[in-house]
Amino acid sequence: MSRIYKLLDVEDGSVYNMTLPMILEEINRDRSEEWMKYDETDWREGLAEFTQFVVLGDEVVEEVTDNWIIVYAYGEWQVCDGSVGNRSVSYDFKTKEEAEQFLKELRS
């Protein structure tokens, strides 16, 4: 089971879908050796203090199957649970690398 968080970038209005490991990576990146890393217990505090993101909502993906795919459509990279016309959910990303990272986290 995976939880997916929808985050708003308050600086440019972009919306991102991220798993908790992706959020923790963003909060804790480029820090000194003395940095006390945020974790699953206090990540919301770190998100508010050290990023430009706010949580819009979250959802739980109960089952992650091998049917999840990455497609490029309408100028965006998407991670979907099936082919066009046969999917129930998709998540949009600006880059292929973001989509690949999201899918990797979703499957772990």
pLDDT of 93 reads 87
Beta partners for residue 78, in sequence order: 71, 92
Residue type, 51: T
Global pTM value:
0.63
- Integer Cα distance of 24 and 74 in angstroms: 29
Where in the chain are the domains?
A: 1-62, 63-108
Q: What is the pLDDT along the chain (108 residues), one digit of tens a residue?
A: 567 888 889 999 888 888 888 899 999 998 999 999 999 999 999 999 999 999 988 766 555 566 777 877 667 888 887 665 666 777 888 888 998 888 888 777
pLDDT of 39 reads 94
Q: Which two tokens stand for residue 15?
A: 């919306």
